[in-house]
Amino acid sequence: MTGADVLLLALGAVAVGAGALVVTTRHLVRAGLYLVVCLGALAGVYLVLAAELVAWVQVLIYVGAVVVLLLFAVMLTRAPIGASDDLDRPGWPAALIGGGAGLGLAALLVDAYRWTRVDLPVPGTAERLGEQVFRTWVLPFEVLSVLLLSALVGAVVLSRPDIGRRPADGRAPAGADNQDRAGGRP
pLDDT level of residue 20 (50, 70, 90 thresholds): very high
Q: Is 26 strand, coil or helix?
A: coil
Residue pLDDT, tens place only, 26-85: 787 888 889 999 999 999 999 998 888 888 888 988 888 877 877 777 777 766 666 666
Angle (CA) 40 41 47, round 5°: 90
pTM over the 0.75 mark: no
Cα 2 from Cα 94, distance rounded (Å): 37
Q: Are 48 and 8 in contact (CB under 8 A)?
A: yes
Among 66-70, 96-100, 176-180, whose mean pLDDT is lowest? 176-180
- The larger pLDDT score, comparing residue 131 to residue 48, is at 48
pLDDT at 171: 62
pLDDT tens string 155-173: 777 777 776 666 666 565 5
Which are the contacts of 49, defined by CB distance < 8 A and separation ≥ 6? 8
Average pLDDT over residues 117-141: 80
Residue 173: per-residue pLDDT: 56
3-state secondary structure of 25: coil
Cβ neighbors of 141 (< 8 A, separation 6 or more) are: 133, 134
